[in-house]
Amino acid sequence: MVDRVKDKVALVTGATRGIGEGISRLLASEGAKVVLTGIDAGAGARLAAELVGQGAEAIFLAADVRDAVQCQASIDGAVTTFGRLDILVNNAGIFPSASLEETTPQLWDDVFAVNVRGAFFCCRAAIPVMQRQQSGVIINIGSTLPFRGASDRFAYATSKGALLTLTRGLAQVYARDHIRANWITVGWVASPGEIELRSAIHGNGQSFLAGAATNRPFGRHEDVADIAAGVLYLASDEASHVTGCELNISGGMWT
Parallel, antiparallel, or unpaired: how do β-strands 87-90 and 9-12 relate?
parallel
What separation in angstroms does the CA of 82 have from each of 7, 9, 57, 183, 249? Answer: 10, 7, 9, 25, 31
Sheet (strand 33-38) strand order: 57-62, 33-38, 9-12, 87-90, 136-141, 179-186, 246-249
Please give the Cα distance from 30 to 82 (Å, whole number): 17
Closest listed residue to residue 131, CA positions, set 194, 165, 174, 74? 174
Q: Within a 10 A sphere around the Cβ of 54, how many other Cβ atoms?
A: 11
Residue 174 appears among annotated catalytic residues: no
Active-site residue, selected from the candidate residues 156, 174, 188, 208:
156
What separation in angstroms does the CA of 15 have from each of 62, 153, 187? Answer: 10, 23, 19
Residues classed as catalytic: 156
